[in-house]
Structure 1
Amino acid sequence: MLGPREGTVPPFRHTTARAWRLWRAFGVEQSDPARFYGLLARDSARHVASHLPGEGLRGQWVLDVGGGPGYFADAFEGAGARYTPLDSDVGELSGLGDLQPGTVIGSGMQLPFADGSFDVVYSSNVLEHVPEPWVMADEMVRVAKPGGLVFCSYTLWFGPWGGHETSPWHLVLGGHRARRRYERKHGHPPKNVYGESMFAAKAAPGIRWARSRTDVDVVSIAPRYLPRWTHWVLRIPLLREAVTWNLAIVLRKR
């Protein structure tokens, strides 16, 4: 349930209870994807809406770069948004069956849209899967309207889930050896292959990228899933790479 009527969402808060719910859900991503992606999608809609004035997502045209399963379409459309997913992988976009109407197949590093097309440009846990993440982030800013919101978050390599299904062995063995360990144990390679479809994303380059742009205002740079009282970790360079878990960068285009 997203709220008492279409287009409304419950207030968003970086609480400890929310962080605990998300942490538990990440543990069942493979075994119970409906629980994981459903919770994450509803949380995402609330998070984005918290940075929008007035009626939040109602009437906003949202581009989801790396849209993934249809849970996100349900959450954003349920909040009153017009939703356009883009992905390079049809299998990801068809996670709930048929493709969403208006689905676009393309590259996040070369978005097939005109400048200033969308009210909200959103991406969740995709930057760590592209070889040139800041090219993709540049493209997200390009297709946002003046005054539009850009929300991109990504999983940090040195965090507990940085290796995705190879976690936490990526921290001990490194990406390539953790991949080989996974193959030996499960008899097949991981879905997210280090060096091919997963890369070592870090907080520092993202913070530098956001602060270096002259065409945006930084709305927020914060640990996406952690409670607010932990956000001070971003001020400590090495600690933030290990503790932040997932970095959310929120910008408003000038």
Structure 2
Amino acid sequence: MRDPSLRRSLALFRAFLNEPADPEHCYRLLARDAADQVERHVPLRGAVVADVGGGSGHFTEEFRRRGAHGYLFEPDPAELTARGRTPDGAVLADGYLLPLADGTADVCFSSNVLEHVADPQTFLSELVRVTRPGGLIYVAFTNWLSPWGGHETAPWHYLGAERARRRYHRRTGRPAKHTLGENLFAVHIGRTLRQVRARDDVAVVTARSRYAPFLAETIPRLPGVREIATWNLLLILRRLP
């Protein structure tokens, strides 16, 4: 897929809308797209890739298909076994304290995890720690004020997280999976970019709207607008010596 392109964005959006009915297609497509993004900056063949919070292993599998040594670290046993089996080589591990030595990974990868951790800066620091100097850190997340910020309760989270949860329960008859302040947190693009750019151990390679077909790098530069229009921020960082 070209990136950015309208065809790519439409394919990802259609897969996203159909995720409840066909999660395998959705996550395999997303994994291929993410691996394409990484390969624009570093060859994957022979690379050591740490997939942090990678769920049931779609991303790790894609990295391995491209010749990387992929390792999956996931804190939730239910996520690990969501496909009816535990992925080969998966490790039950907390992203705040990865069982890896400093500078182990050529690529440290995290897709849609940052909004689920209470302390995103400590989480990011751990990703940086395990990445070798010159290596790549890939972090993508859904910010709270995006149209999908409330996840399954979106877009009603704009009217308040608890109100959105009550509406979801009334409509579906079951509680929402995510609760703000417990397993979902209000991460904002402007604050995250300022914190990352203030670090002296990484350089920002790109900060872009992950799925936008146009102006993908421009949208995150626009204060206020970026908090809604970005939808999902992709940060690619280079570990400095």
> TM-score of the superposition, structure 2-length normalised?
0.95
The CA deviation at 1:243 is: 0.2
Q: Distance in 2 between matches of 1:36 and 1:194?
A: 25
SS at match of 1:229: coil
The correspondence for 2:208, drawn from 199, 206, 222, is 222
Could you say which residue in structure 2 is the equivalent of 1:139? 126
Could you say which residue in structure 1 is the equivalent of 2:35? 45
Could you say which residue in structure 1 is the equivalent of 2:180? 194
- What do residues 164-187 of structure 1 show as CA deviations (whole Å, max 9, x unaligned)? 11111112x211211121122222
The correspondence for 1:163, drawn from 128, 146, 150, is 150
Gaps of 5+ in 1: 1-10
When structure 1 is superposed on structure 2, of 196-205 and 228-237 the one drifting more is 228-237
The CA deviation at 1:105 is: 1.0
Could you say which residue in structure 2 is the equivalent of 1:62? 49
Gaps of 5+ in 2: none
The 8 Å contact of residues 72 and 89 in structure 2, kept in 1 or not, is answered as: yes
Q: Distance in 1 between matches of 2:46 and 2:55?
A: 22
The correspondence for 1:112, drawn from 94, 99, 110, is 99
Could you say which residue in structure 1 is the equivalent of 2:219? 233
The CA deviation at 1:84 is: 0.7
The CA deviation at 1:69 is: 2.0
CA RMSD of superposed structures (Å) = 1.4
Q: Distance in 2 between matches of 1:220 and 1:26?
A: 24
Q: Distance in 2 between matches of 1:233 and 1:242?
A: 10
Q: Distance in 2 between matches of 1:35 and 1:160?
A: 23
Is 2:203 aligned against 1:213? no
Q: Distance in 2 between matches of 1:141 and 1:228?
A: 30
The 8 Å contact of residues 234 and 244 in structure 1, kept in 2 or not, is answered as: yes
Could you say which residue in structure 2 is the equivalent of 1:8? none
- What do residues 198-239 of structure 1 show as CA deviations (whole Å, max 9, x unaligned)? 111110122012211111221111111112434322221100
1:15-30 alignment to 2 at 5 Å?
15-30=5-20
SS at match of 1:237: coil
The 8 Å contact of residues 71 and 96 in structure 1, kept in 2 or not, is answered as: no
> TM-score of the superposition, structure 1-length normalised?
0.90
SS at match of 1:151: strand
1:61-140 alignment to 2 at 5 Å?
61-140=48-127
| Number of aligned residues | 240
Task: Supply the AA of the counterpart residue of 1:216.
Answer: V
1:173-184 alignment to 2 at 5 Å?
173-184=159-170
Task: Supply the AA of the counterpart residue of 2:75.
Answer: S
SS at match of 1:62: strand
Task: Supply the AA of the counterpart residue of 2:9.
Answer: A
The 8 Å contact of residues 169 and 175 in structure 2, kept in 1 or not, is answered as: yes
SS at match of 2:191: helix
Q: Distance in 2 between matches of 1:100 and 1:24?
A: 26
